[in-house]
Amino acid sequence: MPKLEGRVAIVTGCGSQGPGWGNGKAIAVTLARHGATVFGIDNNPAAADETAGIIAGEGGRCVTATADVTNKAGVDAAVADCLDRFGRIDVLVNNVGHSLPGDPATMPEDVWDAQIAVNLKSAFLCTRAVLPVMEAQGKGAVVSIASTAAIRYTGKPQPGYAAAKAGLVQFSRVTAIDYARRGVRLNCVLPGLMETPLVEKLAADFASHETGTDRDAFYRRRHEQVPMGHMGEAWDVAEAVLFLASDTSKYITGTELLVDGGLCAAVRG
């Protein structure tokens, strides 16, 4: 069983976008359940505090910070806070992400820029901040949450999101090679169609673009697309992160772990 006792893990986007379990919330709780001290970062302090409360209620430890991870000053301050409190950083989970529909002919430039910032720049800034710490320790693991959209077209009009997540995958690959002999591993988890509070919020937007119908049709289509017959959940993503963050995967770097119910295997690309 993966163990993280004595490890300090930064999780960005550690809160949830609404009632239930989003990826960041499930990741933070899962890492804490396996012994990690969690330093959660979110731009919504109430959501972050909810996650911290769950961890504390289970006997774990979680400290939170409010920051915009697309802003270098905010990232640097949060990482410095983590170091001041715990003296080390063993795991970074780049979990922040958001998707907006559109196509290159109609998507406003500011929407494109925001998609690149939240899905790619945030991971660059956070990784940039922790790499010197992990290198000095001689060990560390960075796990970034990308998407199957990074490697396949899965039926959703989201060029900004897809391009950013593809960039995140390649950023992780090349950085993994650069740091392979310095003890730092970098890998990506690629979730497919998941049922999370964020997807609930996106349903109205994508329903009009994809199906022209309502939320139920949007969800029904997503379930039907997956070979297993249903969407995944945040816990599926969290368990994949746990594996890549722990020494169970100590000989794995520069790769991607699909968590998609067989979606990519069934989609040509």
C-alpha–C-alpha distance, residues 116 and 150, integer Å? 13
* DSSP category for residue 118: I
C-alpha–C-alpha distance, residues 239 and 235, integer Å? 6
CB count in 10 Å sphere of residue 58: 11
C-alpha–C-alpha distance, residues 87 and 133, integer Å? 10
- Tell me how far CA of residue 55 lies from CA of 15, 62, 128, 166, 190, in angstroms: 12, 6, 27, 32, 25
Selecting among 161, 179, 219, 251, the annotated active-site residue is: 161
User: Helix, strand, coil shares of the chain as percentages rounded to 5?
Assistant: 50, 15, 35
Residue 161 designated active-site: yes
Residues 6+ positions from 110 with CB-CB distance below 8 Å: none
Chain centroid to CA 1: how far?
Answer: 22
Q: Where are the alpha helices (DSSP H) in 121-262?
A: 122-137, 159-179, 197-210, 215-225, 234-245
Catalytic residues: 161
